[in-house]
Amino acid sequence: MSFRRRTFPEVIDNILTSVTGGVAAESHPFPPPGGAAPPFQHSLQQSKVSNIVSVYGSRNGEPHLFRQDADYALLADDQTLQWKEGAELPDSGTLVQVNYNPKSAEPQLTDIHTGSVVRTLAESVGLEIARLYAQLDVVYQAGFIDTATGSSLDNVVALLGVHRIKGGRPAGPVEFRRSSGSRGLIHVPAGTRIITENGDIEYETTETVTMASGQNTMSVVARDLEINNGLAADMLAVLPRPIAGIEAVTNPKPTVITTEDETDRALRIRAKNFLHGSERATLGAIKHAITRQGIKAEVIEDPNKPGFIEITPMEETLTPEQEQRMRKAIEDTRPAGVQVVLKGSQPPRKVHLEIRLSTVSGLLEQDLRTIQRGVRQKIENYFTKLPADAAGSVNRIVGLVLSFEEVDDVRLLSATWDVEGVAEDVLDRETGQLMIKDFPTILGDLQIADPNLPTQLTLMMTFPEGEELPDPDRIKVELTTAITYLNDVNASEDTEEAIQALSYGKLLRVVTLPGKPGESLEEFDSAVGSGGSIPELPTGSLPYEVKFIFTLESGLSRILVQPQNSYILTGFERLTLGGVELHPEPSDV
């Protein structure tokens, strides 16, 4: 149904044209049907038109009187109305009403001048009709979300299950942070949901905001979806539905109770955004409902079993509260008649990565450590948010690392995960993908090699009290000599794997202990490389217990304490001596 309010002047023109024998409010669509090109023309129904009294229609959504000879004209055939070049044209898809007098008209009443009986009666009737049009216009506009106000708007949005939020709910600013390296505009629509880490409390934004290109942070007010859920600062931290280009979100200040009701404008925006996110009774809706609980899960719909869905949570542990929330979210979303089977939780697979960084020279060690911590955080977030049905992207990981301006280059050396205790390579260099599709994943060990920030090697030794004390200064010299040799031979792409493999026995060979002299690591590698007899490596030196600890700035530590333990250097990785610690064990006596 389409409705256009008719104003008092239009109603009077219609009445006076009709009582004097003319044609009142003859309707014509604009533009004329048939795809005609300008100038647009309308053929009037009665031929031989004496004159056009007036033409009314809609322009910019409002009633409008079009000007004769400026907007339109009657052609010489006395039957065609033509719109002129440069005219104020009616809105496309609307009707125009034409009042005109045919030449054949024989009016019985002709005195329509102001003050005449006919004019006075017409104006009295026209005023009442115009008033009714105004009332009908209010009723008509009250049926649309863009034009309804007050209680009428409440009734319209109630059809969607949306209700005006009253005062008394906590609210406060939330801050969105752009991902490093992202470009362009980022739109955050009103109604965007933000939840706490445990998913117990959910807030939504009240306005649609846009982060300009080059803008790193943006703040918008968010309010609680329930009553009395005030929050301390930095508790809202999770976007259930990620937004491209947004790296993190938080509430920098505690939320406070608001006193004002939701405005008409805010209610309209929220209702419209609800329509975009109100998907129900679909496989995608079920997946989204589970994701909103902060849970990863594999959702399978077997085409051979219609109406049957299997859901397998992919979490290390699933608390009873999380399971209950997930079951409720599934029940609220699933289609009627569809059976959902919730299977036991399966832990995600850990992906272990080795990467090499090339950072700009001249940076302080604390800056380099900050970069490595940031790299780990970004890669960790990438695997956390990666859908189970998506393969990992090498280019995406490289892009995350290169988003740090201090990183000149990065290379992904290896990517593995453990399958039944066996390391399996998942890096496909030809396609640039990690072959982890159909398995939810998290980041496992991340080994980062940066020549500007060496890995620390620390020796820790314990021995019974009363035993001969090893010489710590001599051990430091021996390990420093071995580290200098390793740094020299590992400063290229072509370093032999046998040299990069630092076993427990190779390192223990270097150390001088009472009754065991230290020997050169370089001589051992030369013997292995020449193909001659390989010197025997020590397996231990009781009662001295020796541990070699490799500590990376990414947080990864590797402890070598048994003959089968080893640490593999990556290309260009440098070592530095972290220290030599000797700890005598007190006797039991």
Cα–Cα separations (whole angstroms), residue 295 to 236, 240, 299, 327: 17, 10, 12, 12
* Contact criterion met (CB below 8 Å) for 500 and 567: no
Cα–Cα separations (whole angstroms), residue 277 to 230, 288, 528: 25, 10, 65
d(CA 471, CA 444): 38
Residue 248 pLDDT = 86
In this structure, what token pair is assigned to residue 67? 């000007």
* Contact criterion met (CB below 8 Å) for 568 and 416: no
d(CA 589, CA 574): 45
d(CA 255, CA 201): 12
Q: Look at strands 193-196 and 236-238 and give their pairing.
A: antiparallel
Residue 136 pLDDT = 92
Q: Is the dihedral of CA 162, 163, 164, 168 positive or negative?
A: negative
Query: Which 8-state DSSP code applies to residue 13?
Result: H
| Closest to 77 in 3D by CA, of 38, 31, 44, 39 | 44
What's the whole-model pTM score?
Answer: 0.53
CB neighbour list of residue 284: distance below 8 Å, 6 or more residues apart: none
* Contact criterion met (CB below 8 Å) for 224 and 252: no
d(CA 510, CA 548): 12
* Contact criterion met (CB below 8 Å) for 297 and 311: yes
Biggest alpha carbon–alpha carbon distance for the chain: 136
88 three-class SS: coil
Any idea of the CA torsion for 318, 320, 325, 330, to the nearest 10 degrees?
A: 70
Phi, psi torsion values for 465, nearest 5 degrees: -65, 135
* Contact criterion met (CB below 8 Å) for 201 and 224: yes
Other C-beta atoms lying within 10 Å of the C-beta of residue 336: 5
* Contact criterion met (CB below 8 Å) for 572 and 356: yes
- Output the tens digit of pLDDT for each of the chain's 589 residues: 468 889 999 999 999 999 999 999 999 999 998 767 888 999 999 889 999 999 999 999 899 999 999 999 999 999 999 999 999 999 998 999 999 999 988 888 888 888 999 999 999 999 999 999 999 988 988 988 888 998 999 898 888 778 887 878 888 999 999 887 677 888 888 888 888 877 778 888 888 889 988 888 999 999 887 777 788 898 898 887 778 788 889 999 999 888 778 888 888 877 877 665 555 557 777 877 787 777 778 788 877 878 888 888 877 777 788 888 888 888 888 877 788 888 877 788 889 998 888 888 888 888 888 888 888 888 888 887 787 778 889 988 988 888 888 898 888 888 999 887 788 999 998 888 999 887 878 888 888 888 888 889 999 999 988 888 899 999 999 999 999 999 999 887 777 888 889 999 999 999 999 888 999 999 999 888 887 778 889 887 778 999 999 988 766 788 999 999 999 888 788 899 999 999 888 765 4
Residue 588 pLDDT = 57
| Closest to 240 in 3D by CA, of 178, 310, 296 | 296
* Contact criterion met (CB below 8 Å) for 140 and 156: no
d(CA 315, CA 347): 5
Q: Terminal CA-to-CA distance of the chain, rounded, Å?
A: 100
| Closest to 194 in 3D by CA, of 205, 178, 186 | 205
43 three-class SS: strand
In the chain, domain spans: 8-139, 170-261, 279-342, 349-449, 455-585
